[in-house]
Amino acid sequence: MEKSKDQEQDSRRAFLKKTAFACTGFPFLGGAMALPYYSHKPLNRSNMKIKSSKTSIIGAYGQWAGDLPGNPPKLSFRNGTWKKVEPWKKEASEKARELVAAPIIKRDTEVTVHRKYTYDGLEVEELSWQLSNGGRPTQAILLKPQGAKGKLPAILALHDHGGNKYFGKRKITRVSDEMHPMMVDHQKLYYSGRAWANDIAKMGYVVLVHDTFTFGSRRIKYQDIEGIPWGDCSVAGKSDQNPEEPANVEIYNQWASYHEHIMSKSLFCAGTTWPGVTLAEDRAALDVLFDRPDVDTGNIGCGGLSGGGLRTDYLAGLDPRIKCAVSVGFMSTWKDFALNKSYTHTWMTYTPLLPQFLDFPEILGLRVPLATMVLSNNEDDLYTLAEMKKADGILKAVYAKAGASEKYQGKFYEGNHKFDVEMQDDAFSWFNKWLK
């Protein structure tokens, strides 16, 4: 019997909650990634296995498509072209930046401090700045230990995707005893009930958490949409009034998931990519940390789950100001996405043509020999375990060839898509090792 529309929506909500879709941090997760989205049915693992070389999520074209990039790709450090790391990094990074096509995005205003207060042993600042690519001002939360003096190492904490674009920075912070009930649930599901940005700040860091492109304060509002007269992305009958109501948040998040393909195609037509725009906004936030007198600019790290992990892969891979990176829940291969899992991921992931030159983990590997950790879950439905293991092997090979094996660590945990207490403790120890 065919499902009703309400039943399909219920299935989709259950699907999103189960799998923490970011982003990726996105990524990315910080990221839980968002499932696009195109399937409304809960995951059925038995239906997700590739049964033979002639079957895939793109049918019998899979084997051909999976072989297109070459193994290894043209600019991989693993092939015999480069003997030394620096010439490889120069050429590969230039090509990655060209294809990511991050636009020039500047702050049009100075950083505004709206409130300062203390909460649970932390000094809290509520900040905002206006970016040149439009939209409403970026809102951010800055945390540091109460009474801290002098310069401190810093972390750019990158929130996840989670199929939840209404929220951004609130996903990984707590600045009041009162929290939105959906954020209480979110932190319980993905973070063992912890606001991990707060916890790392208490260990002696300045931590900045900002809303990035299309999330939270940077989200698209219905009132600004024009020219979509029909279909799932139409805003007919939708209102920006009472946005904090859980029912309205769910309606918004579903609409925003459908809108991703429109945004991505429009960005391609404008000569950029979604990873490029997110990278540019995250770099603008990194600039905010660099401008602060209380930050030790030689010791800045970044990290996040899912969508936050995805953002870490691009930001840490392409901005050497990040001295220590922890990517959680967003690491696999382009082949995994191409043949098995692209339908589980946000459009924030994809840089056209880049797979011809670098496999996905090699984007993060561009930062070698800087400290890098990747944390993954064995039962993560966003990826296949074999390809996650392959990605870990690629990063190990890159760091070994560069003579920097001690600067990379990849770890696997039992369970589904998450950044739980055990994983957080390992991440915090890694930050402490390389930033203090």
Question: For residue 54, what pLDDT is reported?
Answer: 72
Find the angle CA(68)-CA(69)-CA(72) to the nearest 5 degrees.
130
- For residue 71, being part of any structural domain is answered with no
Q: Which of 426, 101, 139, 416 is nearest to 277 (CA)?
A: 101
**What whole-number distance in Å separates Cα of residue 342 and Cα of residue 30?**
19
Q: What is the pLDDT of residue 52?
A: 52
Q: What is the pLDDT of residue 53?
A: 58
Number of domains in the chain: 1
Q: What DSSP character marks residue 224?
A: G
pTM, to two decimals? 0.89
Could you tell me if residue 159 is inside a domain?
yes
What are the angstrom distances between the C-alpha of 132 and each of 98, 119, 139, 200, 253?
A: 21, 32, 15, 31, 25
Q: Is residue 168 part of a domain?
A: yes
**Domain presence at residue 29:** no
Q: Give residues with Cβ within 8 angstroms of 247, minimum separation 6.
A: none
- Is 117 a domain residue? yes
Domain-located, residue 162: yes
Whichever domain contains 383, its CATH number is 3.40.50.1820
Residue range of the domain that includes 260: 112-435
CA distances 68 to 205, 353, 355, 359, Å, are 44, 11, 9, 12
pLDDT means per 10 residues, the chain with 436 residues, are 45 43 35 36 41 79 93 94 94 98 96 98 98 97 97 98 97 98 98 98 98 98 96 95 97 97 97 98 98 98 98 98 98 97 95 98 98 98 98 98 98 98 98 97
Helix, strand or coil for residue 385? helix
Q: Is residue 65 part of a domain?
A: no
Count of beta carbons in the 10 Å neighbourhood of residue 346: 31
Would you state the pLDDT for residue 23? 37
103 occurs within a structural domain: no
Structure tokens at 77: 């450090």
